[in-house]
C-alpha cells in the first residue's frame, strides 16, 4: 500500500505530465498557417528587426571564355518551334565576363548576439510569393529563389501542354500536367533545399532550378553579374554561390562579416583559375576572412 504522501506525489507527477503533453501538442499545432502534414523547416525563432541590418553584395564573374550554349531541337513540338525557333540551353548566361543566374545565399552563420541563423524560421520581409512561368517552352526564371512554404505560382503561357516535374532530394517529388490555357498551379516546397531541379515531362530540354531556404537571404545574379542580399543582421556568415553545370552544379564558398549598418562584399568567380574574394567595401567593414573554395573545375 502506498502512503498518502506517495499517492499525492504520484498524482501530482501525473498531472504535470498531462499538462506538459497538452502544451507540447498545442505548440506542434503552432500558429503557422500550414496545410501540410508532417514537420516543416518553417518553424523556428522569430527574428525582430534591429534596424541596423546590413547587406551582402558582389559580382559573379567568369574567367576565360564561357562555354557556348547549344541549340535545342524542339521539332517534337511544333508549338515550341514556332514560338521559340532559336531556343538554346541556358546553362551559361555570360556577358562581358559576368554570369547571370548564379544563386547566392547565406548557408550558415552566427549573428552578432551569438545566435545561429538556422535557429530562426521567421524573418521580416519574407517574400510572399513567386512565379515560375513556362513561356516559349522554357522556364522563366531559369533560377528561382524562394523561402520554405512560399507559394510558387506555376503558369503556362504557351499554346501547348507542359508537365512540371520537380525532382528534389529532401522535398517530395511532384509532377503535374498543365494544358495550354489551364489556370496557374500553386505549390510550395516545405523543406530547405539548394537547389531543386525542375524538368518538364513533355519537353525533355526544359530545366529550371529552385533554391529553398528558411531565410530570405538569397539572390540570383543579374545579367551584369551583380547581386545584393539586404536586411542581413550583423554577424559572420558563410555565403555560397551556386552555378549549374555537370551533375550537381559548382559551389564557391566564402566567409564574410556584416557589420551593424554596414555592408560586406562577396565577389565570386567561376571558370578558369577561378578565385573568390571578400574585401572590405568600406571603412565600416570589419576584415573578412577568405576561405578556400570547395571545388575547382
200 binds Cu ion (CB under 5 A): yes
User: In angstroms, what is the minimal distance from the CB of 187 to Cu ion?
Assistant: 16
Identify which of residues 202 and 257 has a Cβ nearer to Cu ion in the complex: 202
Residue 240: is the preceding peptide bond cis (ω within 30°)? no
Which residue is listed with cell 553545370? Answer: 245
| Closest to 218 measured CA to CA, from 239, 197, 199, 191 | 239
Residue listed under C-alpha cell 525533355: 204
Taking the complex as a whole, how short is the minimal distance between the CB of residue 42 and Cu ion, in angstroms?
30
C-alpha cell at 285: 567593414
203 binds Cu ion (CB under 5 A): yes
Please state, in angstroms and rounded to a whole number, the distance separating the CA atoms of residues 65 and 228: 25
Q: Which is nearer to Cu ion, 190 or 202 (CB)?
A: 202
| Closest to 215 (Cα-Cα) out of 115, 145, 114, 268 | 145
Applying CB under 5 A, the span of 6-14, 20-28, 67-75, 202-210 interacting with Cu ion comes to 202-210
Which residue has cell 510550395?
Answer: 188
Give the list of residues 6+ apart from residue 133 with CB closer than 8 angstroms, or none: 139, 140, 154, 155, 156, 157
Q: Which of 73, 101, 120 is nearest to 243 (CA)?
A: 101
Stretch that binds Cu ion, among 94-102, 121-129, 157-165, 189-197 (CB under 5 A): 157-165
Q: Which three cell numbers stand for residue 290?
A: 577568405
Q: Which three cell numbers stand for residue 53?
A: 541590418
Here's the x/- map for Cu ion, 217-236, by CB under 5 A: it reads as --------------------
Cβ nearer to Cu ion, comparing 162 with 252: 162
Please tell me whether residue 102 binds Cu ion under the rule CB under 5 A: no
Ramachandran region, residue 249 (left: φ > 0; alpha: ψ -120 to 50; beta: rest): left
User: Out of 40, 190, 202, 263, which residue is the one contacting Cu ion (CB under 5 A)?
Assistant: 202
- Among 103-111, 182-190, 193-201, 253-261, the segment contacting Cu ion (CB under 5 A): 193-201
CB of 285 to Cu ion, least distance (A): 45
User: Which C-beta is closer to Cu ion: that of 152 or that of 200?
Assistant: 200
259, with CB counted inside 10 A (0-12, 13-18, 19+), is middle
**Stretch 23-52 residues interacting with Cu ion (CB under 5 A):** none
Q: By rule CB under 5 A, what count of residues binds Cu ion?
A: 5
Tell me whether residue 162 or residue 265 sits nearer to Cu ion (CB atom). Answer: 162
- Report the residue number, 182 or 222, with the smaller CB distance to Cu ion: 182
DSSP 117: G
Q: Supply the minimum distance, in Å, between the C-beta of residue 208 and Cu ion.
A: 11
Q: Which of the ranges 196-204, 225-233, 256-264, 275-283 carries the binding residues for Cu ion, by CB under 5 A?
A: 196-204
Kindly state the smallest distance separating residue 157's Cβ from Cu ion, in Å: 11
Helix, strand and coil in the chain, % to nearest 5: 10, 40, 50
Q: Which of 162, 191, 236, 265 binds Cu ion (CB under 5 A)?
A: 162
Q: Which is nearer to Cu ion, 162 or 191 (CB)?
A: 162
Helix (H) or strand (E) holding 132: strand 130-134
Closer to Cu ion at the Cβ: 202 or 281? 202
Who contacts 14 (Cβ-Cβ below 8 Å, separation ≥6)? Answer: none
Binding flag, residue 215, Cu ion (CB under 5 A): no
Task: List residues binding Cu ion (CB under 5 A).
Answer: 162, 200, 202-203, 206
Amino acid at each position: 500500500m502506498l502512503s498518502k504522501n506517495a499517492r499525492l506525489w504520484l498524482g501530482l507527477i501525473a498531472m504535470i505530465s498531462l499538462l506538459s503533453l497538452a502544451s507540447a501538442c498545442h505548440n506542434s499545432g503552432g500558429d503557422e498557417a500550414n496545410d501540410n502534414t508532417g514537420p516543416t523547416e518553417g518553424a523556428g525563432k522569430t527574428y525582430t528587426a534591429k534596424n541596423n541590418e546590413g547587406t551582402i553584395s558582389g559580382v559573379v564573374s567568369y574567367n576565360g571564355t564561357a562555354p557556348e550554349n547549344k541549340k535545342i531541337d524542339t521539332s517534337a513540338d511544333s508549338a515550341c518551334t514556332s514560338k521559340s525557333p532559336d531556343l538554346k540551353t541556358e546553362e551559361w548566361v555570360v556577358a562581358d565576363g559576368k554570369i547571370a543566374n548564379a544563386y547566392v545565399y547565406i548557408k550558415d552563420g552566427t549573428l552578432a548576439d551569438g545566435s545561429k541563423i538556422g535557429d530562426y524560421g521567421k524573418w521580416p520581409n519574407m517574400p510572399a510569393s513567386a512565379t515560375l512561368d513556362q513561356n516559349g517552352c522554357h522556364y522563366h526564371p531559369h533560377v528561382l529563389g524562394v523561402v520554405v512554404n512560399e507559394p510558387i505560382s506555376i503558369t503556362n503561357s504557351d499554346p501547348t501542354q507542359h508537365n512540371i516535374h520537380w525532382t528534389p532530394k529532401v522535398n517530395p517529388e511532384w509532377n503535374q500536367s498543365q494544358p495550354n490555357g489551364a489556370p496557374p498551379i500553386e505549390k510550395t516546397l516545405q523543406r530547405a533545399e539548394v537547389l531543386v531541379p525542375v524538368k518538364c515531362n513533355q519537353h525533355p530540354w526544359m530545366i529550371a532550378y529552385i533554391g529553398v531556404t528558411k531565410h530570405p537571404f538569397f539572390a540570383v545574379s543579374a545579367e551584369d553579374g551583380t547581386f545584393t542580399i539586404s536586411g542581413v543582421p550583423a554577424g559572420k556568415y558563410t555565403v555560397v554561390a551556386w552555378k549549374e553545370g555537370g551533375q550537381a552544379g559548382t559551389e564557391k564558398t566564402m566567409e564574410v562579416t556584416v557589420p551593424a549598418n554596414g555592408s560586406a562584399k562577396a565577389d565570386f568567380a567561376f571558370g578558369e583559375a577561378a578565385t573568390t574574394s571578400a574585401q572590405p567595401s568600406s571603412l565600416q567593414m570589419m576584415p573578412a576572412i577568405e576561405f578556400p573554395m570547395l571545388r575547382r573545375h
